[in-house]
Amino acid sequence: MNAVNNENRTRCEVWTRVMGYHRPVSNFNTGKKSEHYSRKHFQESVMANDAFIKRYSRVCG
């Protein structure tokens, strides 16, 4: 694997949704940044979603 020089890197801005607004994490204060990085992020399972649809599609429509 080739190393990338810092000169060739591009800064990546991370945004998150807070209180209905999308904001860059870089604008957060220290406490809010700490809270953001300690969050557990949701990952949807395709299998669980399929099971949900099969179970509730008849009820909703």
Q: Where in the chain are the domains?
A: 13-37
Residue 21's DSSP bridge partners are 18
By the 8 A CB rule, do 24 and 15 touch? yes
CA distance 29 to 50: 40
- Residue identified by tokens 């994490």 is 25
Is pTM beyond 0.85? Reply is no
pLDDT at 60 (0 to 100)? 56
Which of 2-6, 15-19, 29-33, 57-61 is predicted least confidently? 57-61
- For residues 8-23, average pLDDT: 84
- CA nearest 19: which of 28, 9, 30? 28
Average pLDDT, the chain: 80
CA distance 15 to 35: 14
pLDDT tens profile 28-49: 999 988 888 888 777 767 777 7
